[in-house]
Structure 1
Amino acid sequence: MRVHIIGTGLLGASLGLALSANGHEVTLEDTSPTAQQLAADLGAGRVVNAKTGTEAADTTDPDAPDTAPAHPDIVVVATPPDVAARVIATALETYPDATVTDVASVKTRLLESVKTLVTRSQLDRYIGCHPMAGREKSGAIAAQADLFTARPWVICSDEDTPESRLGEVIAMATDTGASVLHLDPRIHDAAVAKVSHVPQIVSSLVASQLRHAPLEEIALAGQGLRDVTRIAASDPGLWTQILTGNAEEVRSVLIDLRTELDEVIAALELGPGSTGLLAKAIALGNEGHDRIPGKHGQPPTTYAVVTILVPDTPGTLARLFKDIGDLGVNVEDFRMDHASGRKLGMVDVSVVPAIQQELEIGLLSKGWQIPESAIEKEGTA
């Protein structure tokens, strides 16, 4: 297909890389000539001269002709959320034969805005999408061709959506390696408030508490803090747009969260029944955690964890995973923590419980160190 991408940030450039790798003809457009050229230089697509239809030379030149493709099959709007509606409406007008979609993370308010800007017949050519993928980094320089692989790609169509146009969008999403899901816009917005937008706020608020903490306190940070605050490095401007765009749903979840947080704060006064309230808060978190899907969207699975001590030297991790593979063991998941003040790390490898002991014995025979406390704990279980 001929796909024209408007907006060459992380998502737009990543989409261009993925589609180009699958043989689609991708053209690029951005209000920033430099960002547009960077995405093209990285292989996300090409920039064409609107007058000649040929590839543009240097689009960073402010005097260069405007660029646009001739007749795209699909136009993907990958601009910031606060301008997406206007860009979608312009694309529907500019490309009267194309299917127009977007990758914005909020759908209900965007759809309502688009409805006020276009005709009914134009609206039939618009299909809202949201690929559930991203990074804490932004811009084309952070783009990855496999960003969407195995990630959910939500499509918000309705009964009036022409099957042929829906088929085009599904085919495009599938060719990025994503898994297509169909959701009503309001259900989508309620879902992302819980699984994406509120986690971003919580991560940012936890990281905010570190601003004035003494460095000797922060030096004690382990993997738990890193896990919670990883997405706190996200772009403030983009997230302000996302949160305001889904304000009603996000506010609803935060009110519920505040109620439970107030209960924890009250329990920490250590009055009668406080330990029960604290235990309940942690237990309810266990229940929620256990509902998070496992690998490849499968039902949650409980794995055994084998901890291996590894020196911080080149090639160590490659050798560890080769040895695990040579033992015929499949790694379901892993994480790594770093010792403070020492060039030593601890790798937690998640495996099917039935092969935990086999893996430990095999790794010990190959010279790897497994903390004695872990083996003793298993032996007394």
Structure 2
Amino acid sequence: MSLSLKPGFSFGGVLQKLYPEENLTRQEIILENSDEYWMAQALSKSMENGCAANPNPSVGCVVVLNNKIISSGCTERWGGKHAERVAFESLKVGDLEGTTVYVTLEPCTHVGKQPPCVELFRNRGISKVVIGSEDPNPIVSGNGIQQLKEMGIECKVGVLKTEVQAWLSPFFIQQRNHRPLIALKWAQSLDGCFADDHDGWQWISGIHSRKYTHWLRQKYDAILIGVGTLLNDFPSLDVREIQNQYKRDPLKIIYDPFGKIFQCTEQEQAILTEKTFKLGTKQIILIGTQVLLDEKEKNNKWFQFLKNNENFILQKINDNSENKMTNIIVESLKCKEIDEFLGRPLQSILIEGGPRLLSLFLQEKNYDVLHVFIAPFFLGGEKNKLFSKKQRALIPYIFRDVSKVERMKIVVQERLGNDILLEMVQEN
């Protein structure tokens, strides 16, 4: 992504939608009744159902007549109606005459789980269609726009394009790169500590940052942590601060190459069962091949409980010494069994692990976006930092010269409560 997002927008969408009661300090004033103004309304509408449309894009559509929205729609749960159909079906014959339709993504032209949306525009008297971004799907890309023009409808493309593509980044990455998006998230003090040296971490960030974190958990399909974080913190890894009609918890993935989880005490097993592994949630445990073949583990009751539980998959890590470790992790998750277990293709992974796992992904430059929350205080610790001495003992870190270091691109810089949110990507 070459440009920064406009103030008030983020990879999570329109920030004012998440914080309607707040006056965000960096919200940009967009000229009222301009194309950007109405596209912002469509983008805000696209957030209404969370990301329940995944792996389809969560699209927003608003129909404007005489500077007033007369109808709007958001893509429903995967397999349900697309945004344009939801917006149009509440209107009577003739109501679309002379309207301008704002849609965040180019209307589809193919038959999937729904009919092609572009046909909804035919012979309806629509004056103009404003589109945020072309669809990256090669089946659609440009075809929807061309068909609208052939219908005699004026088209304008690229309004808030960068903001729309950031919101739909998992869809764009999957379509273009044929892999899941990788997002890294952490909260830190001003001196880079994830926790104090006594492992106390609640709470580094404030309530506004935590709300945004829970929104990201709902946006992404899965959340990945290391077994160290699991056994130190026993995190719930669910969505608690966000409410909408299609609220969903992410698939939980535990990276545990040496099978430490199978050595849990009964007390630890009870806590895990109550919190991280609570009833109704799905988990994948990434395990080294040798651990799965170990006869001792096969006689372990806790191992057998996890192995035979329908809410778990013990997925072996596809070890390949020629590949980077983080690529091995991601490749191990790209299989039909996991897609079926999730109930849809795995399109995005949020890595919320401790500094060891995050340092590994940063070291190997295996990420698409960073979500970093900076709290305004110093801890003065040494233990829980990226690339600390503790991490370097486990990760072969390559020290860089400051004159040659590859700097990241800050795409978003916002104040959330008393914290600073930075969202960054790698420079092209």
**Fold agreement, TM-score > 0.5:** no
**TM-score normalised to structure 2 length:** 0.31
Judging by fraction of residues, say which structure has more helix: 1
Q: Which has the larger radius of gyration?
A: 1
Judging by fraction of residues, say which structure has more strand: 2
Higher relative contact order (CA 8 A, sep 6+): 2
**TM-score normalised to structure 1 length:** 0.34
